């Protein structure tokens, strides 16, 4: 079952981030960030997939409203993670479909995402859903503290 995320999902989301995406971020910080993002529902959409039998969160999707002065608003997917033991069951496809449905209902006509070069299976998944690579770029960052 797909539903909106809740602060109480922080532990499951933190475990998904660690196991499936390789982000080892403290649970306290994950919970604080989740609480902050959930309070900004205009700009952040966080969906979870809950196993009907166990009521356990086994996947999540985080999208943000991406607005610029040179194109129409779109959703930018920041994270999609499905527990390894639940992969290949259509859960990621269902989450993406729900995001697309919600985007259309809010007048958003485009969704974009970035995916690391090494995530070949993820690329194949997105391509199967009709997403195309339309830009090659490098990502730059700088730690300030």
pLDDT at 2 over 90: yes
CATH topology of domain 2-128: Aminopeptidase (3.40.630)
> pLDDT tens across 31-46, in order?
999 999 999 999 999 9
The pLDDT of residue 138 is 79
> The pTM is what?
0.93
- Place 66 in a pLDDT band, splitting at 50, 70 and 90: very high
Q: What order do you get walking across the sheet with 44-50 strand by strand?
A: 2-4, 44-50, 57-66, 74-82, 111-113
pLDDT at 137 over 90: no
The sign one gets for the Cα dihedral 109, 101, 40, 18 is negative
> pLDDT tens across 83-135, in order?
999 999 999 999 999 999 999 999 999 999 998 888 899 999 999 999 999 87
**Tokens (6 digits) for 62:** 């985080």
56-75 average pLDDT score:
97
User: Which residues are bridge partners to 68 per DSSP?
Assistant: none
Where do the domains of the chain lie?
2-128
């Amino acid at each position: 079952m797909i539903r909106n995320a809740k602060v109480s999902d922080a532990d499951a989301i933190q475990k998904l981030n660690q196991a499936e995406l390789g982000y080892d971020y403290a649970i306290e910080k994950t919970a604080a960030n989740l609480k902050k993002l959930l309070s900004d529902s205009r700009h952040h959409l966080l969906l979870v997939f809950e196993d009907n039998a166990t009521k356990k969160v086994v996947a999540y999707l985080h999208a943000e409203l991406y607005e610029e002065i040179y194109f129409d608003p779109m959703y930018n997917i920041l994270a999609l993670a499905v527990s390894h033991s639940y992969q290949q069951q259509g859960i990621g496809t269902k989450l993406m479909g729900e995001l697309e449905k919600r985007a259309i209902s809010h007048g958003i006509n485009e969704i974009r995402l970035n995916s690391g070069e090494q995530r070949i299976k993820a690329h194949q998944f997105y391509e199967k859903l009709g997403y195309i690579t339309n830009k090659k770029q490098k990502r730059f960052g700088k730690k300030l503290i």
